[in-house]
Copies of this chain bind each other. A is one copy, B any other.
Amino acid sequence: MSQVTDSTRTGKRERLAGAAMRVLHEQGVEKTTLADIARAADVPVGNVYYYFKTKDQLIEAAIDAHGRQLESMISTLEQLPTPQERLKSLLHGWIEQRDLTARYGCPTGTLASELDKRDDGLDRAIAKVMGELLDWVERQFQAMGRDDARELAVALFAAYQGISLLTNTFRDPGLMAVEGRRLERWIDSLA
């Protein structure tokens, strides 16, 4: 019985964190209430306080969930034989999400931008998640034999964050598609 209860609890906690990730992406931090997240997770709002006492704790759990999602994406990319293929596959994933990006921006980037204006220290948590992906991109450029791997990783990551912002601002998924193809040619040119 206790095991069942524990797994139900873990399930609800994870469902809330996953829902928080989605709702924060769509509505932003400031406009989102615990009730919005409870509704999206299909958990009674009164139960939320059992798992998360404050909105900040739920934002932190959403950032953790986001980090795990990126780790799982990286594991999938690692299956590919060459660093170029891994980077281009990362790029394709970003391009595939372009309609969602046109509506809500990059989930990591918009959250980072919003948390940077707050004083709750959660900006450090999102920076850590972004830093892990950035380090992974750098390792791919290193594996391609580039001495300037860090600079290239920052450039690729910045290009994605920037085109996400423009795609969102101009509500134009086509911007991401065109820039994605340009970045793909750029990766090929570096090999």
Binding site for B on A (CB under 8 A): 26-28, 30-31, 104-105, 109-110, 112-114, 116-118, 123, 126-127, 130-131, 134, 151, 154-155, 157-166, 168-171, 175, 178-179, 182
A116 contacts B168, CB within 8 Å? Answer: yes
Give complex CA distance A168, B111 in Å: 12
B154 contacts A113, CB within 8 Å? Answer: no
- Chain B neighbourhood of A164, CB < 8 A: 162
Partner of A31, one of B117, B134, B179: B117
Q: Which chain B residue shows the least CB distance to A112?
A: B169
Give complex CA distance A94, B112 in Å: 20
- Listed A/B pairs (16) with beta-carbon separation below 8 Å: A27-B117, A31-B118, A105-B113, A113-B168, A113-B169, A116-B169, A127-B170, A130-B169, A154-B175, A155-B182, A157-B166, A158-B162, A158-B179, A161-B161, A161-B166, A162-B165
- Chain B neighbourhood of A110, CB < 8 A: 113, 116-117
Q: Which chain B residue shows the least CB distance to A168?
A: B116
A110-B117, A158-B159, A161-B166 known; 10 new pairs, CB 8 Å cut-off, are A105-B116, A112-B169, A113-B165, A113-B168, A130-B169, A155-B179, A160-B162, A161-B161, A161-B165, A162-B165
Partner of A163, one of B118, B131, B162: B162
Each complex incorporates copies of this chain amounting to 2
- Chain B neighbourhood of A157, CB < 8 A: 162, 166
Give complex CA distance A158, B171 in Å: 14
Partner of A162, one of B123, B161, B170: B161
- Chain B neighbourhood of A30, CB < 8 A: 28, 30-31, 117
Q: Which chain B residue shows the least CB distance to A157?
A: B166
Give complex CA distance A112, B171 in Å: 12
- Chain B neighbourhood of A166, CB < 8 A: 130, 134, 154, 157-158, 161
